[in-house]
Structure 1
Amino acid sequence: MITRQRHIAHLHLHSALTEDQYADIIELMSGITPHVQAVPPNAVQLDLTSALRYFDLSPYDMVQMTMMRLKGLYGIDSSAGLAGNRMLAAMAADASAPGDTTWVPAERAAEWLYPRPLTALPGIGRATATTLTRYGLHTIGQIADLPPATLQRLLGVGQARLLAERARGHDPRPVVPAEPATHLTADLVLDRDCLDPAHHHRAVLGLAEQIGVRLRGESQIAGRLTLTVRYADRSSTTRTRTLPEPTNHSPVLAATALGMLTALGLQRARVRAYAIRADDLRPADTAHRQLSIDPGDDRARAAEAAADRARRRFGVEAVRPATMAAATALRT
């Protein structure tokens, strides 16, 4: 059985995009190939394999045509990676300067991949990198050449097997249009340490609002939130709460996030960063909303829908919670 070689392109879009602009770009890409996967907020992946014969172009020329269309129609600069699978294409795009394309042909994948630092491999975070470098492992090739039993002793069976496959350049995932996200994350890193409780409140409120907007934009609901606060000494604290019911309603998300913040007791903490992660995602049409006799709840949801429409038209900064708007006015 002959397996046709795949040609996957990963494009980084060097521009801040509204939801409508991003949707237009996905539609543009769908005119080149039906196999388009959104990688929010500013990237997209395309499986060009079936489109090559139609356009009668090489994979590299297909990518150049795509980048020219983005520039000509939307004025957006991009960088691209081209390879035989999604992981290698994304890594190649990360290695590309704006306007450039890095092509990693299948026959040269190992040659390109092996000398790269192990931190370039997806799935290797700070803790894993520290463990591996402690044992003299610094490149992806060294991981690929390590006996499986040795890597398993260092990392455990599951993680070792996954990293070994990735280190050899293997990634069987197809490009899937509208692949549902497994989680959403919003974070904020400060320029300097912060001791102000009011600022902590505004920061977490703003992140909860971001999560709500993204959930509603993707027609999803979340069942669980996690708040992580990182301090000046690089330590961090994490709290997780299950929502009363799965939702994408910003006031409920904000109340849950602020409840976790209050429980941390940060009165004198020197905070450097905040992050909120939404998990247990599912389609919004599966939500079972508890009935309420309070007409204010319906008004709040109607106002929220109107605010979302304004953001899609005028950008994400068009509508913000009153607390945050007041804080901006005071600063200016």
Structure 2
Amino acid sequence: MGHGDGRGRMVSSAGADDTGTRILHVDMDAFYAAVEVLDDPGLRGLPIIIGAPDGRSVVSSASYEARRYGVRSAMPVSQAIRLCPSARIVMPHFHRYQEVSRQVMAIFESFTPLVEPLSVDEAFLDVQGVRRLWGSPGVIARLVRERVADEVGITCSVGVAATKHVAKMASTIAKPDGMLVVPAARTLEFLSPRPVRAMWGVGPKAAEALEARGIRTIGDIRESSPEMLDRAVGSALSTRLAQLARGEDARAVDTERVEKSIGHEETFEHDILDRPFLRAELLRLADRVAARLRRAQWEAATVSIKIRFDDFRTVNRSQTLSEPTAVGQRIGEAAQALFEQIDRRDPIRLVGVRAEKLQPAGGGGMGLWDDDEDWRRVEGAVDDAVARFGTATITRARHIGRGEGRGAAQHPRAHGVD
């Protein structure tokens, strides 16, 4: 398995056997950093950290040159700088990443209509139905890589396999700038020696539980009894892992995929103990989330919050609403209620609000009365004002004078996959 910095990289030779394959997983290489190099060629070959330079923000991405020093995404920038003092810190330009992402996705869709974006920098492609037009899956993967490099100017890695799970694992191992083909007949041979942590959907806690019982590889999962797996990770996940370990994955490429959540989070310049201020920040973030929901014509059935303390311990809480909403006041009240359930009173460095379980606006119908009618009217007026005059023209009175979180380093995120 790759280490995120190119070590352990495996690639297929030209003309590799792709019998029985149909799924491509295409993943851009260090995407944010690659786009910054594209716009500033003077950065090429340098260790780059994408993040705010104040040291209290987190790393959004890093070039492979920086990753070789141990720099990783979501690491505090201060820690990343200690690991790689020579790194160049570059502020993120999210609008630019979205723009380049659209170019890349358009290339994918020129090969096949069956494209499932997972995020701005990766997607699944089902190429079974376009073989007569373009060639076998391995050939198509090579063509995709060539066009992304020629037309966009950045590199990608591609996994080619019979299933989504194996294709995603293969693209990770091929990074950076590589292609790995796993023919259907060699699926188990490919999976067996891979660590359990390499499996899509296995988080650190599940991996630790498996490893504590001597289950370290995917082959070990296949050889373990259902009872042992159940004790390690629970019956639902154990059944799923057993299937994946056998190479069984019936998931199709989903072209109707929508955002699973929309969220914003804020990292403060200084750790905050002021609970009223934090409650106000949650409401402000909820307003931003709600505005994006309304623009996209979605409503959220669940609200979640993320709280990171000064020791970097992170707590997440979620609540299912009585009915879906895109009203900032309602989302904010839910976020504040969740915040009050957290007993710990240590200084806080980050707060976040996320809308989850999205559905089309109005899909739940309207009751006999609308408790949110007044807020809906107010927030609609705010949307109109923003559309006419810009985002800085209007805000809640309680936010005036607070700036953006007392000098906060902002990291708004639209979560496509969590």
Structure-2-length-normalised TM-score? 0.63
Per the alignment, in what secondary structure is the counterpart of residue 174 of structure 2? coil
Residue segments in structure 1 that go unaligned for 5+ positions in a row: 312-317
Q: Does 1:194 align with 2:271?
A: yes
Question: 24-33 or 135-144: which moved more?
Answer: 24-33
Per the alignment, residue 347 of structure 2 pairs with 270
Which among 2, 20, 31 is matched to residue 110 of structure 2? 31
> In the aligned structure 1, how far is the partner of 2:105 from the partner of 2:243?
30
Could you report, residue by residue, the CA deviation over 1:256-313 in whole angstroms, capped at 9, with x for unpaired residues? Answer: 32443355476x5133554544333212241546374675343123245669xx89xx
- Structure-2 change in CA distance of 1:296 and 1:222 (3 Å): closer
Q: By percentage of residues, which structure has more helix? A: 1
Deviation at 1:34, TM superposition (A): 1.2
- Structure-2 change in CA distance of 1:6 and 1:319 (3 Å): farther
Which amino acid letter does the alignment assign opposite residue 157 of structure 1?
A: S
- The answer to whether the 8 A contact 1:232-1:270 is kept is yes
Deviation at 1:80, TM superposition (A): 1.9
Structure-1-length-normalised TM-score? 0.77
Could you report, residue by residue, the CA deviation over 1:3-58 in whole angstroms, capped at 9, with x for unpaired residues? Answer: x9342111123145555654454343222101111212321110011112112x33
Deviation at 1:142, TM superposition (A): 0.7
Which among 179, 184, 195 is matched to residue 101 of structure 1? 179
Question: 135-144 or 294-303: which moved more?
Answer: 294-303
Residue segments in structure 2 that go unaligned for 5+ positions in a row: 1-18, 33-93, 410-418
- Structure-2 change in CA distance of 1:246 and 1:172 (3 Å): same
Q: Does 1:140 align with 2:222?
A: no
- Structure-2 change in CA distance of 1:238 and 1:305 (3 Å): same
Q: Does 1:283 align with 2:360?
A: yes
- The answer to whether the 8 A contact 1:187-1:273 is kept is no
RMSD over aligned Cα, in angstroms?
3.8
Which amino acid letter does the alignment assign opposite residue 186 of structure 2?
A: R
Per the alignment, in what secondary structure is the counterpart of residue 175 of structure 1? coil
| Count of aligned pairs | 318
The 5 Å alignment of 1:121-270 reads 121-181=199-259, 183-184=260-261, 186=263, 194-197=271-274, 200=278, 204=282, 208=286, 211-212=289-290, 215-216=293-294, 219-232=297-310, 236-243=314-321, 245-262=323-340, 264=342, 268-270=345-347
- Structure-2 change in CA distance of 1:65 and 1:191 (3 Å): farther
> In the aligned structure 2, how far is the partner of 1:192 from the partner of 1:121?
36
Which among 370, 383, 395 is matched to residue 301 of structure 1? 383
> In the aligned structure 1, how far is the partner of 2:408 from the partner of 2:238?
50
> In the aligned structure 2, how far is the partner of 1:88 from the partner of 1:245?
38
Q: What percent identity do the matched residue pairs reach?
A: 24
> In the aligned structure 1, how far is the partner of 2:156 from the partner of 2:408?
35
> In the aligned structure 2, how far is the partner of 1:260 from the partner of 1:106?
47
Question: 295-304 or 124-133: which moved more?
Answer: 295-304
- Structure-2 change in CA distance of 1:328 and 1:225 (3 Å): closer
